[in-house]
Amino acid sequence: MEKVKTFQLKELVLTLAIICTASICFGQKLRSPMSVNMENSSMNRWLQKPVLESRLLDDMENPDNWKIGRFGKMEQTSERKIDGSKSIRLYAPVRTKTVSERFNGEGAFGEAGIMRTFDKEDWSKYNRISFWVYPDAKGSGTIQILTKLLNNGNLLNERTKHLAMNFTELKNREWNQVVWEFGDHDRNAVTGLSLAFEMRGKPFYNGPDTLIFDFDHIELQRVEADYVEGWEVAPGKISFSHTGYMPDGQKEAFASGLQAQTF
C-alpha cells in the first residue's frame, strides 16, 4: 500500500513538473480553460424547440423494465427524482478489472449501462428522445453519457450504414435534460434503448473507482428536426465551414429561404 502511495505521489509531481516546464518554455502563465457559454450551445438551442407531440416512454418507477449490462450495478433510489417517487441508479466503474475484459470486442473500453428492451415498437412518428440524468462523479473531469438505439436488434442502420449512438456531455452533480434527435436513424422496429458510461479509466490519480448516474422521465418527442444529411440547408439558416480561411481567401456559405440578398 505504501509503494502505491509513493508511486502516485511521484506521478503527480512529474505531471506538475511537465506542466510548469512547458509554461516556462513558452513564456505563458498557467490559466484556467475558457468557460463554455451554454447559451450559444447546440444543446440549449435544441432544448428551446417546441415539442409538437410527446409520449412518456418510462417514468423509471419500475426497475423490472430495465436490465444491467456486463459491467456496473443497478438499483432503484428515492434520493433524487424528476417526478414520481423514484429514479433508477447506475453504479458505473471507471475501468474494468482486467485487460482481457477491457478489450472485449465492444471497443477499446467496456461500457457500464442499463438497457430497456422493446418488442419491435414503431417509433417512426417521433424523431427525438428526451431523458433526465444526474451524474455524481467526484474528482472527474468531462462526464459523458452514451445513448444507443437498437432497431431489429441492430445498432447499425440498414439505410444509412451509420451507428445509432450519441455522446452527450453532462454537468456534474445536477440534473441534465438530454435530448437526441434520431430522425435519420431506423426506428420502425425498436428493440432496445441503452444508457451507458464508457469506462476510460480515472481522469485523476485520486479519482473515484465508481461513478453514479440517476436516470428519470424518458420521453419520445416530435420536433422540427435539424437537417443532418446532404448539401441542403434548413430554410432561414446559413451553413459555413468552421475550419478557417486564408487571409485573402474567398469566404463561401450555403443558405436556403433567406429574404436578404447580402449579409
Is position 93 within any domain? yes
Is position 258 within any domain? no
Is residue 8 located within the same domain as residue 136?
A: no
d(CA 177, CA 47): 8
Count other C-beta atoms under 10 Å from residue 133's C-beta.
22
Is residue 19 located within the same domain as residue 105?
A: no
Is the pLDDT at 257 greater than 60? The verdict is yes
d(CA 65, CA 213): 17
Is position 67 within any domain? yes
Is the pLDDT at 260 greater than 70? The verdict is yes
Specify the pLDDT at position 214: 98
Give the residue numbers spanning the domain of 126: 51-222
Is residue 20 located within the same domain as residue 125?
A: no
Mean local confidence (pLDDT), 7-12? 56
Tens-place pLDDT, residues 143-200 = 999 999 999 999 999 888 899 999 999 999 999 999 999 999 999 999 999 999 998 8
Is the pLDDT at 15 greater than 80? The verdict is no
d(CA 177, CA 180): 10
Is residue 83 located within the same domain as residue 9?
A: no
Least Cα distance to 70 among 93, 51, 39 occurs for 93
Backbone phi and psi for residue 29, each to the nearest 5 degrees, phi listed first: -85, 150
When comparing pLDDT for 232 and 221, which is higher? 221
Is position 83 within any domain? yes
Least Cα distance to 124 among 52, 225, 222, 195 occurs for 222
Is position 113 within any domain? yes
Is residue 159 located within the same domain as residue 206?
A: yes
Is position 245 within any domain? no
Is residue 66 located within the same domain as residue 153?
A: yes
Query: Of the ranges 4-8, 164-168, 258-262, which one carries the lowest mean pLDDT score?
Result: 4-8
Is residue 75 located within the same domain as residue 163?
A: yes
Q: State the total domains in the chain.
A: 2
Residue 110 DSSP SS3: coil
d(CA 182, CA 192): 14
Q: What is the mean pLDDT of the chain?
A: 85
Specify the pLDDT at position 107: 42
Is residue 85 located within the same domain as residue 124?
A: yes
Is residue 108 located within the same domain as residue 217?
A: yes
Q: What is the CATH number of the domain that holds 103?
A: 2.60.120.260
In this structure, what C-alpha cell is assigned to residue 198?
Answer: 464508457
Is position 146 within any domain? yes
Is position 192 within any domain? yes
